[in-house]
Amino acid sequence: WLGPARIAFDDMCDRAPEGEVEVVPTCFRVIQQSNWKIFLENQLDALHPAVTHESTGRAAGEVEEAINEAGGHAPLSYHFLSAFATPITKWDAFETIGYPNGHCILTGYMGLRPRDPDTLAYEAVMEKAYGRARMEEILGVNIHHVLLYPGLSVQSPLQQLRAVRPIGVDKTLTEIWHFRLKGAPEAIYRRALGYYNLVNSPSTLVNADDLWNFWKCHKGLESEGGDWVSFHRNAGQDFESNEETRSVIGTSEQPMRNQFKAWSRYMNGGAA
């Protein structure tokens, strides 16, 4: 059922020197005043970060740049946020890959292999566990985000997982979990914890922007502004082969179209 999208879990476990991950209690819980599908549509929408999260990303980028210009080395935590301000033209250079059953992947963009002591120590442990070639293969996996339709959003390189639990047509609970890579240095866990708190927690500026937009989208759907929601961006330009659909550019709405193919099949009683 998962098909190639099982890489969401394989990649996370492969990144652990011991081949296993440990869930770290407890999770964050967020109530969204919107339909569950809006959250999932947002996950791999590469057009929205540079707009929705520009204020957060730009502020972090300015501090990051100032630290580096002063001769220092900005912590990776600043990059977690400044990456959201990546220009749309650069987002277009990435790719989404749609699979059967609504699953989809956004290729990686974050640059998580800086030449800092923490990363080098982690790579040394990984090389000892897997050998040089296999270590490079694992750390070279080019994914940032995997959406497992209709219920999970996984960021394996940063050990994050969000579970989507609809409560009503206009209310959704999301649970945000993070994991520890068994056998990896503590600093690598702290990196995952930092992303968990800075980007995915209920109190972040990133989450606040998204929740506000989700609510506005839902209110728009409740209005009489139109009968249809368009997901036509780059429609007809996707590359299809062997049940895979690859977007022509990163900001294509291919992921949304792929989700609704599965949703339509489910709603018509068809097995995914």
- Give residue-wise pLDDT tens across range 174-187: 999 999 999 999 99
Contact between 58 and 85 (Cβ < 8 Å): yes
**pLDDT at residue 224, rounded to an integer:** 86
- Is residue 272 scored above 60 in pLDDT? no
Alpha-carbon torsion (33, 253, 260, 144), positive or negative: negative
The radius of gyration computed from the CA coordinates of the chain, to the nearest angstrom, equals 19
- Is the separation of the CB atoms in 272 and 265 below 8 Å? yes
User: What are 111-153's pLDDT values in tens digits?
Assistant: 677 788 999 999 999 999 999 999 999 999 989 899 999 999 9
pLDDT recorded at residue 76: 85
Among 70-79, 95-104, 250-259, the minimum mean pLDDT is found in 70-79
Q: How confident is the model at residue 15 (pLDDT cuts 50, 70, 90)?
A: very high
Does the pLDDT at position 109 exceed 70? no
Per-residue pLDDT, averaged over 19-43, amounts to 96
Q: What is the pLDDT of residues 77-106, one digit of tens each?
A: 898 999 999 899 999 999 999 999 999 999
- pLDDT mean over 3-32: 96
Mean pLDDT computed over 58-84: 92
Average pLDDT, the chain: 93
Residue 179: phi and psi, rounded to 5, are -130, 155
> pLDDT tens, 162-177?
999 999 999 999 999 9
Instruction: Provide the pLDDT for residue 114.
Output: 77
Residue 55: the pLDDT is: 93
Identify the CA nearest to 51 among candidates 265, 251, 195: 251
Predicted confidence (pLDDT) at residue 270 exceeds the cutoff of 80: no
Partner residues linked to 246 by β-bridges: 97, 239
211-238 pLDDT, tens digit per residue, is: 999 999 999 999 988 888 899 999 999 9
**Contacts of 161 by beta carbon, 8 Å cutoff, 6+ apart:** 152, 153, 154, 155, 176, 177, 178, 179
Q: Extract the tokens encoding 58.
A: 């730009």
Domains, in order of start, for the chain: 3-48+93-222+234-267 (3.90.380.10)
For the stretch 178-206, what's the b/e string if a residue is b when 16 or more beta carbons lie within 10 angstroms of its beta carbon?
bbbbebbbeebbebbbbbbebbbeeebbb
Cα–Cα separations (whole angstroms), residue 5 to 1, 69, 100, 101, 197? 9, 41, 9, 10, 26
